[in-house]
Amino acid sequence: MKVYPSYVYSHNQLAKRCSQPQFTSAKVAYLDTTEFLREDFDWMGFVNKINNIYKDEAKVNVVSYACSTGKETYSLALAFKTQMRENSNKLLPIIAKDIDSNCVLKAKRGRYKISNQEALRLDSLGGKNLYRYIDIVDDGLEKYAFVKDFLKRDINFSKADICQDIDTIPTKNTVLLCRNFWGYLSGQEQVMLADKLAKLLDKTCLLAIGSFDRACGMDRMLEERGFKLTDIPFLYRKLK
């Protein structure tokens, strides 16, 4: 059985919620809470920064771990497509992985019930081009988002535990998202992963975490290992 570090629980209420797994008889069921364009991140600022930093590069690797059911990855692909147009090709396909095979299945399916807030955020990002990538359906009771194949083909979803898979990440020109999942790791795993990322990624790489991860103390752990916070909250760049 997986053991969770006590300090994660005591840090604050958000971290506590994020890091409490639900135990089933045989295995840990991970909490897969996610949203389209989750509000803890400046998605437009992120896309602008990527556009700026990698403007002279022919290829940029975008890798997303703990992608859950895929809403975050589709948000990113949508932001690339709508804000960068043909310039987005060098960022695609996005490689997206999660430890939970059910999440990966749901991600590949790309059919979701969504909140009013998610519908508004998608609409405000996609504008009149949203329908090209995602159908928003309102049956009068609920809203749904159905991702179109045109967007699905820009993402490769697969199952992986980041702790086992980390060495497959390209070390240069890589944009890595590992958001709102660090609280699931033991203290030892957090240190091991932060150490490996610091060693692996060079100054051409960006690393995005989430608000739950900061609540787990990951901001400090990354800064101690040579990552510097950019002007975008939760987005880090290696100093060398």
Ligand X SMILES: C[S@@+](CC[C@H](N)C(=O)[O-])C[C@H]1O[C@@H](n2cnc3c(N)ncnc32)[C@H](O)[C@@H]1O
Residues in the site for ligand X, rule: CB under 6 A? 30-34, 38, 65-66, 68, 72, 98-100, 103, 161-163, 179-181, 184, 210
Calculate the CA dihedral of residues 115, 116, 120, 121 and round it to 10 degrees. -30
Give whichever of 68 and 173 is closer to ligand X, judged by the CB atom. 68
Where does 95-173 have alpha helices with state H? 101-109, 116-126, 130-133, 149-152, 162-165
**Closest distance between ligand X and the C-beta of residue 102, in Å?**
9
Give whichever of 130 and 160 is closer to ligand X, judged by the CB atom. 160
**Closest distance between ligand X and the C-beta of residue 63, in Å?**
12
Could you tell me if 71 and 117 are in contact, meaning their C-beta atoms sit under 8 angstroms apart?
Answer: no
What are the CA-CA distances from residue 66 to residues 32, 70, 158, 182, 216 (Å)? 9, 9, 11, 9, 16
Rounded-to-integer distance, Cα 14 and Cα 186, Å? 17
**Closest distance between ligand X and the C-beta of residue 2, in Å?**
10
Q: How many CB atoms lie within 10 A of CB 47?
A: 19
Give whichever of 88 and 211 is closer to ligand X, judged by the CB atom. 211
- Residue of 113, 124, 232 lying closest to 175 (CA atoms): 232
Give whichever of 33 and 116 is closer to ligand X, judged by the CB atom. 33
Give whichever of 20 and 132 is closer to ligand X, judged by the CB atom. 20
**Closest distance between ligand X and the C-beta of residue 154, in Å?**
18
Could you tell me if 37 and 121 are in contact, meaning their C-beta atoms sit under 8 angstroms apart?
Answer: yes
- Residue of 182, 2, 50, 162 lying closest to 96 (CA atoms): 162
**Closest distance between ligand X and the C-beta of residue 212, in Å?**
7
Give whichever of 143 and 179 is closer to ligand X, judged by the CB atom. 179
Rounded-to-integer distance, Cα 158 and Cα 173, Å? 21
**Closest distance between ligand X and the C-beta of residue 48, in Å?**
20
What are the CA-CA distances from residue 28 to residues 13, 17, 185, 190, 210 (Å)? 21, 15, 12, 18, 22
Give whichever of 173 and 180 is closer to ligand X, judged by the CB atom. 180
**Closest distance between ligand X and the C-beta of residue 85, in Å?**
25
